[in-house]
Structure 1
């Protein structure tokens, strides 16, 4: 996990995935010190999915980053690597 910036409040962020038009919720989430760090994590998740040799780019997968209040912070389109 990425370390928090000193003095920043830790917040829980969620990373639901849209795959083939279907939402796969994230009920657990991860804790980060900023929305930027959470967004970077979401980008890493998208990159990880895209690096899977079995990933089908036609599926149009998107990793969302959502804060604890349900506000979308970022979305990362999965690109096959």
Structure 2
């Protein structure tokens, strides 16, 4: 079991074996969540656009592809010019 010490400023160093397991690097973002049983969980916040694609799908509306999103960004950029 990995453990660490909390500094006077409330900072911790995440042990290497945990960083490796969660695939965390310098600059990675994490979230602390307290579950229904009162246990604290560390959730790595690293999602690619591909992971998030289509998560807001509504029945009857076609899912947007990565290409659709990139085209929409380009069109919006042109409108701001």
Give the TM-score, by structure 2 length.
Answer: 0.24
> Which one has a larger percent strand, Structure 1 or Structure 2?
1
Q: Which has the higher helix share?
A: 2
Q: TM-score, normalised by structure 1?
A: 0.24
